[in-house]
A and B are shown apart, each in its own frame.
Chain A
């Protein structure tokens, strides 16, 4: 079984400030971890993913996340927020075993960027 917890359903930051969106997961097998972004009335766009190897992964739009196995975390960060970053962000986990490889999503964090 796998699950994802995103702390904070709403996060507000000022433009230019650090963005930190928190994600903790549980998985009985080695996880693959993802962050997706959803703009209003749009689909899910992959920001970045961790599968194996380097634990600090860089994604699009200046975002990065670090896989910390000891903390079962995969927090998303961006050094300097931009107005265009305002969206909903979903953390998700899956694993590559068997034929059922569906994603389990967190409940999402709505990011607001203040001018």
Chain B
């Protein structure tokens, strides 16, 4: 197992476009998390899934953001009508039950 995998590694897009990121967790992990990290800050929680159920969303997750985990395996995070302020590193993590979270390499989003 190569750990948590995120694609793409880097996404450059124009303001107003939609983007989608994918996260493949460690296969036996039932919990999956999304975080966002901006320069000089630690990761900030966005949302969390247990299997396919989205159990918590941060107020940071505006209406333009949506996350899914359709079969309790991989997850997608979509941002519609991107804005300059969306530029950040988007991190995915997974954990088994109450175990420690394992992070992916992240997807760096740059808005032109």
Q: Do A and B bind each other?
A: no
Task: Give residues in A with beta carbon < 8 Å to B.
Answer: none
Task: Give residues in B with beta carbon < 8 Å to A.
Answer: none
